[in-house]
Structure formats: structure tokens, C-alpha cells
Amino acid sequence: MKRPTINRLRFLGALSIAALLSACAPDKQTDANKKEETGINTEQTKSTAQAPPLIDRQLLFGNPSRFQGRLSPDGKMMSFRAPLNGVMNLWVAPAGDIDSAKPVTRDTGRGIPSHFWALDSRHLLYIRDRDGDENWHLYAVDLDNNKITDLSPFDGVQAQMVAQSETHPGTVIVGMNDRDPRWHDLYKVDLKTAGRELLQENDGFAQFFLDHDLKLRLATESTPSGGYRVYEFADDDWLEVFEVDFEDALTTHILGFDGDNTGFYMLDSRGRDKAALVHYALDSGHKVVIAESNKADIANVLMHPRRHLPIAYAINFETNAWIPLDGAYTEDLATLEKQVRGDFNILGSTLDASQWVLYTDSAAAAPRYQVFDTRDNTLSTLFTTHPKLATLPLAKMYPLVLSARDGRDLVSYLTLPADLDQGGSLAAPIPMVLLVHGGPWGRDSFGFDPEAQWLANRGYAVLQVNFRASTGFGKGFVNAGNGEWAGAMHNDLVDAVDWAIAEGIASPDEVAIMGASYGGYATLVGLTFTPEKFACGVDVVGPSSLNTLISSIPPYWESFRSTLHAAVGNPDTEEGRKLLTERSPLHRADKIVRPLLIGQGANDPRVKQAESDQIVAAMKAREIPVTYILYPDEGHGFQKPENRLSFFAAAEAFLSDCLGGRYQPFGDDLKGSSVQVVHGATFIPGLQRALMNSKILATNTVEDTDE
């Protein structure tokens, strides 16, 4: 999930609603006009006189120059996403010759979010939905003629890429839920014609696994307790292999088959706290632990694409570290680590494992996509994602481990304004923004973060906390969040804020909370369960009611329903319904005494528009100020750069009014956006004026062409 901001109004005693509204209206607007001209909060002029120049929002939230670098499996070609007429499209070039790159797609809507290569090195595959509805279609680009084929040409259907094999070129295995929206049937699909052949009709399996000959071998099925069972397809029947209990369900996953298709690799937390890399032999049921750590779960595994053996694995506690498994690559990894600046992740390799594609990141510089050649141990750069940031004063990120009130370690990250940073500390407290990650089954990691850089450049300390239920730190840490939405999970965030105040990082009355998805929910919790703790909050696509959230999950989440009930609350029981109601910010909307900004995508299938509508309605009914921004062509988060820019422009003005930080004028940042301010434009300085000065038209996605 993600992040956002608002104005520090205090509701004191019997303060009248008229006085409350006036605090955001005419007088505020006069000061906002000064800000619009100068780009600086006039109350902060003295403290910001020596601050570095404002980094233009366009450089952080607009399209990157290039992104998502890939090598073809044979190593001869490279691909990446880059703007074409302002929209992220796919480009291809001979490996190492980026200047000759040409676009192979011409999307004119929200852009292409993700792509990968077919193992035949002739086809490029990508996914795309319609205006954020997450009904992903899978497309193939034939690089011989640049013809684009929709491999799942059915309206309202979600496609899932399941498998491919080097020994079956021109074929992919795809799941599609056109027969029953809850379950994805399994099809063999031809890359050229999109012709499909049914392999398995699905009436309850969550996942399928095929071996390297594309034979269907394994499937998983959810259990009522929230765990799952693994089945093997043998003798024309599904036979149970083993069961994974609920406590291991989020930390135990099958990775894929071994080289001779007789067993498989998995990340397995059963019988231990941290997920280990394990090999499971199907004939005997024998398990061998290949690698494990007492610090964190194994985060990633680099497999040899042809031999199907693990080459190395990664552990990500505070930062990412790679450890070799295959002795032939030990020296390669050691040499690579000496050459890389900052953290790195190995995204994949060519089929012969001779070239590895890396994402390298020092947090205080734009990330790079690089290629490490194991044949001569050379490291070359494909491209830098944001080259215009190279000369700008980016802030450092500091990993740290905080203690929750019950003693649990909370791996966190602190980013400070470059001009005030004294090696991770400050001479005096400053305003702070608590950025809360989504999921909640995800995590914050060390690395370049556009939002953290943006906020630090505007004069704020930025704290990101891996609260309990975050993944990567063992099943005990994940399961400590069960039943603790708005409970211990929120306490972890409060404890982190208290640490920042005690350390002289944050001013007690100048801390904002913002986030998206679960982070948006955490923002609403912060303003309703601890209403005096935060000066303001920014919520993007955050659920306001856990009851309606769970009752409206997409049909294709059916296999995850029991896990969701076990982790959050079960609406089928009286106790569960009571818990969900008690932990829903909607039912505490009358407690809000701080400004709130809400951003929502109208097509969000996970956190539906109703989640934002209903809390805004509750606040309006109680005459509590709130600003509500809606995007009719977005889903779970904002993908279009025009929409991102418009929202972060509003959030920046909101935060400046709330915390007193620096503020870049709106300028043209609403241009081309579909932004709709449903309520409360006057509560954000400069927003109403920017809307009046811009021609705001709702945009719709234009379909792909095969040109």
C-alpha cells in the first residue's frame, strides 16, 4: 500500500464549527497565496534560509527515465519500460546498445506496469488492466514483427502467468477465471495465436505448480483454519502431500521443481521461526534444509535457470545480503560485492547463468540497473532510473532497530533533511512524517524512496517502521499481528514516534501520519484511536471499515478468505464481528480532531471507493473538515504520473499547512490529471485556485494498438 498529508487544527473544548472552518478558509487562503508565489511557508523562512533547493516533484513522481531493465534469456537483447509520449511503454535494444532502443508497444493510457521475457527470447510478455480494475490481461509481443497478441482476450477476466519452459518454446501456462470468477482454470496458451487448451478445471485450488516439462504436478488448497494443503497429481488423482498450518501460511511457499522433476524447493517456516530454503523429495517426503538464518527469513533465491539448482540466497534484515550456495559462484559474489555501491538485488539471469541482472541502490542516489558478467567478473550499467537526480542533494537513509513496548525488535528506517543531518541525528527536533507501508503483509526496506526524499527535501524527518505483521522477520513477528489491527500493530507505530521524540528527532506536536492501503488504514486509526497523537493524516486507498473491507474482497481472493479471517477477524462469528467493528475507524469518526486528506481510485477492487465515501460522509455529517480527492481512472494506488503529481502537490500543500515545511507551488501539476476534489478543496491552501486555473478533464484509457 502507500502514502499522503493535512492542516494542524486543534479542536479545543467547545470550539464552534464556524471558528473551525474559518481556520481553513479566508485567512488561510491569504497566506496560501503568499506560499503560491514563494514556494515557502512564510512562518518557516528563517529556518529554511540555508536549505537546499526544492527538488521538483516531477523528478520524483513523474515517469522515470527508464525502469525495469531486463535481459533476454539468451543474453542478446535488453528491454525496459520508458516513456513514449508521456506514457510508460516497452522498449527493446541489442544488449549493451541502449541508444538504439525502439518502442515495441504504444500504450496511451495508464502505461504498462510490468513485463518479462518468454524463454524463447523472441517474445516479450507484459500485463495490463483497465483503469486499475486489476483484471490483468497477459500480452505477448512478437519481436520479429512487433505484433501484439492478447493472450487472455476476455472482458472482466483476470489472467495469471503460471509457468513456461525452455523445452516448450512458444507456449505459456496461464490461469484464467472466465468460467468462475473465484477460481482460475489452467490453460496452455500459444504465444502467436492466443489459442488455448484446457489443462485443469479449477473448483477450489489456490495455486498450481508445473514441472519443467510443463506437466501439472502440484496444487494448494486453503483450509478452514487459514492454512493450506499441498496435493500431488498422481495416478489421475490429487493426493495430499502435507498440510501447512495457519501460523506458517504467510511464511511457507513452494518455489519450483528441481532439475530432475522429482522434488521441489520451498521456503519453509514449519518447525522453526525463520523461513529456510528447503528441498522436498516427493517420493520419500524427505526434507533437506539448504540454508537458514536466525536473523530473518530468506528473502530471495537465485536459481540456475537451466540446472534448477540454487546459486545463492539473500537475507534482508536491515539491509540486503547475498550468500553463495554453489561454490562455483562464491568468488563471483565476493567480487560483485566489492564493485557495487550500496545495496543490490539480483533480479534474474540468462539461461546459462553467465549474466545476472541487478538492481543496485544506495538510497541517497537514483537506482541503477546493472549486469554482472560471471565470465570475466565485470559489472556494467544498463541505465540509471532518474539521471536528473544525480546532481541534487538527496538525503541519506539510516537503518535502525527500535524496541516495541513488549520488547519486540522493529526494523525501521530514518531519513533526515540533507542540510540538517548530523550522521543520523539532529541539533534540534523538527516536524516528522511517519510513513506506514501497505500490506500489512509487506515491509519497508533500505533503498531509494521517492516519498522519503520528497519529504526530507521539504524539511521533514521521515520514519518508516516495520510494525508487527510485516513480513521477512519470521512467523512469530507476522503472527504477532493476528487480531491486532488498530491494536498492537498501531502501538508499534506509536512507540516508534515516541522514540523519535525522545531522541530529539521529532517535535511532539508536529508529527503527521500517512500511508496507502494498510498504511491508509493506519492513518485513519491514528486519527481516531489516538486523536491527539498526530498533527494530521494522509490516507490513500485505506479501508475505513474492516467489516465492509472483508465482505467486499474480489471474487478471486476466495482462496485467501480463511487466512484473512484468521489474521484480521472472522465476520462469520459473533466475536469476530465485534472485533472488526471495534477496530474500524469508521465507527470512531467522531473522535477525529486533526485534519485529514483522503485519496481514492474509483476502480480499486481491493479497497473499494465505498471505504473512503463512508468515512467522508460520517465526517461531513459531524461537520468535521476533510479533503477527499478521487481519481476515476485509477485503482489501488495512482499509476498515471499526472495523477501522482496532482495528488502529491495537494499533499505537499496540506503538509506545509499542517507542519510548516517547505512548499512547491502547484504550478502545472494538475494538468492532464483526472483529479476530482469531491469535498474540501478550500481546506488545502492553493488547491481551489489551482483547480480553477487548470482544465480538469476526466481521462479514460485508450486501448493498445499493434503499431
At residue 695, the pLDDT reads 64
Q: In angstroms, what CA-CA distances link 459 with 362, 455, 554?
A: 21, 7, 40
Q: What is the pTM of this model?
A: 0.91
Closest CA to 310 of 282, 332, 336, 291: 291
Q: Cβ distance 151 to 139 under 8 Å?
A: yes
**Which segments of 606-671 does DSSP mark as H helices, in order?**
609-621, 641-659
Residues 6+ apart with CB under 8 A from 707: 106
Rounded Cα–Cα distance for residues 30 and 285 (Å) = 73
Residue span(s) of the chain under CATH 3.40.50.1820 come to 18-60+394-554+563-693
Catalytic residues: 517, 604, 636
Closest CA to 681 of 29, 3, 36: 29
Tell me which CATH code domain 65-204 carries: 2.120.10.30
Give exposure, 115-134, as e/b (b: 16+ Cβ within 10 Å): bbbbbbbbbbbbbbbbbbbb
Tell me, what amino acid is at 273? Answer: D
Look at the block and give the residue holding cell 492513518. Answer: 523
Q: What angle do CA 179, 180, 181 make, to 5 degrees?
A: 120
Look at the block and give the residue holding cell 464552534. Answer: 16
Indicate the DSSP class of residue 637: B
Q: In what order do the strands lie in the sheet containing 627-631?
A: 397-403, 409-415, 461-465, 430-436, 506-516, 536-540, 596-601, 627-631, 676-679
Q: What is the mean pLDDT of each run of 10 residues along the chain (707 residues)?
A: 30 25 30 39 47 94 97 98 97 96 96 97 97 97 97 96 97 98 98 97 97 98 97 95 98 98 98 98 97 97 97 98 96 96 95 98 96 97 96 96 98 98 97 98 97 98 98 98 98 98 97 98 98 98 97 95 96 96 97 97 97 97 96 96 97 98 95 95 95 61 31
Residues 6+ apart with CB under 8 A from 282: 232, 241, 262, 263, 264
Please give the torsion angle defined by the CA atoms of residues 601, 607, 611 and 612, in that order, rounded to the nearest 10 degrees.
Answer: -30
Residue 405, judged by CB atoms within 10 A of its CB (0-12, 13-18, 19+), counts as exposed
**Which segments of 344-474 does DSSP mark as H helices, in order?**
450-457
Closest CA to 519 of 470, 555, 475, 474: 470
Question: Checking phi first, is residue 349 left (phi over 0); if not, alpha (psi -120 to 50) or beta?
Answer: beta
At residue 49, the pLDDT reads 52
Spell out where 416-550 has E strands. Answer: 430-436, 461-465, 506-516, 536-540
Residue span(s) of the chain under CATH 2.120.10.30 come to 65-204
Q: Cβ distance 177 to 158 under 8 Å?
A: yes
Closest CA to 279 of 345, 223, 221, 325: 325
Q: What angle do CA 534, 538, 544 make, to 5 degrees?
A: 95
Rounded Cα–Cα distance for residues 701 and 421 (Å) = 43
Beta bridge partners of 196: 189
Residues belonging to the chain:
707
Class of domain 18-60+394-554+563-693: alpha beta
